[in-house]
Structure 1
């Protein structure tokens, strides 16, 4: 299933923001900053990427249901694998 890029603009923006946060984490490490500062920013990046992944999966599921003939058109095992990959 191909995702509709026009519906994923908020996800793209979130990933771009996470990209900037990750650059900040690298900068903190290079500057020798405190461990708690680094871990806090790293956790923020991780959470942002996880949320983006869940939105992508949810959008794909919604699109699948809208285009298909109901839940029979959804590959449950594939969705389960996708969700678990983010857990």
Structure 2
């Protein structure tokens, strides 16, 4: 069983991910409708950006509020999580 782990930034992260989800649905519909590739690529860029921003928000918040640089176990986690930036 996993312990609940909530940050103040989580609602903002969820909002960004929902925005990405909406963009992704648009991309799928655009491809199914035969829309121009330039338009599809632009929407894919929006999806990628929204996901990247959500990921960065989550990781930075975790690094700022959950990790202690003086703790060796936390330093190890910091090194591991920073690979996702």
| TM-score, L = length of structure 2 | 0.79
Which residue of structure 2 aligns with residue 17 of structure 1? Answer: 19
Which residue of structure 2 aligns with residue 50 of structure 1? Answer: 52
Q: Residues 71 and 79 of structure 1: is their aligned pair in 2 closer, same or farther, counting only changes over 3 Å?
A: closer
| TM-score, L = length of structure 1 | 0.77
**Within 5 A, what are the aligned runs for 1:1-87?**
3-65=5-67, 70-73=68-71, 75-86=74-85
SS in 2 for 1:72: coil
Distance of 1:5 and 1:71 partners within structure 2: 19
Q: Which runs of 5+ in 1 are unaligned?
A: none
How far residue 63 of structure 1 moved from its aligned partner, in angstroms, is 1.4
Q: Which runs of 5+ in 2 are unaligned?
A: none
RMSD (Å), alpha carbons: 2.2
8 Å contact kept, 1:15–1:48: yes
